[in-house]
């Protein structure tokens, strides 16, 4: 039996394509390979991210904030970024 390649975040931003390019063959199993299953919304800053998540989320939803790039130019460190996030959420 060959080793299976499983993409648990398929549909979320091209992970399957990247895996195929890196390993030279396509993934065997793509979970949630529906563009709406894992919705990506691009925003400009933390305030917009929290506001957008608050506006779109429904009771029981899980919201995952995952920056696509480092925020070194916005915050001095990860703790400052986390504190800003908590401040915005607590102000809702």
Contact 69, 63 (CB under 8 A): no
- Asked if the model's pLDDT at residue 32 lies above 80, the reply is no
* Confidence bin at 23 (pLDDT 50/70/90): confident
Contact 83, 48 (CB under 8 A): no
Q: What span, in angstroms and rounded, lies between the C-alpha atoms of 37 and 27?
A: 18
The string of pLDDT tens digits covering residues 41-89 is 788 889 999 999 999 888 887 777 776 666 778 888 888 888 999 999 9
Q: Which helix (H) or strand (E) holds 29?
A: strand 29-30
- Asked if the model's pLDDT at residue 38 lies above 80, the reply is no
Q: What is the pLDDT of residue 24?
A: 83
Q: What average pLDDT does the segment 28-47 reach?
A: 73
């Amino acid at each position: 039996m060959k080793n299976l390649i499983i993409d648990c975040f398929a549909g979320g931003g091209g992970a399957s394509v990247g895996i195929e390019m890196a390993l030279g063959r396509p993934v065997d199993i793509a979970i949630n390979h529906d563009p709406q299953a894992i919705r990506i919304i691009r925003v400009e800053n933390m305030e917009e991210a929290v506001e957008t998540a608050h506006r779109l989320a429904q009771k029981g939803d899980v919201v995952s904030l995952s920056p696509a790039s480092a925020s070194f130019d916005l915050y001095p460190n990860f703790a400052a970024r986390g504190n800003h996030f908590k401040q915005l959420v607590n102000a809702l």
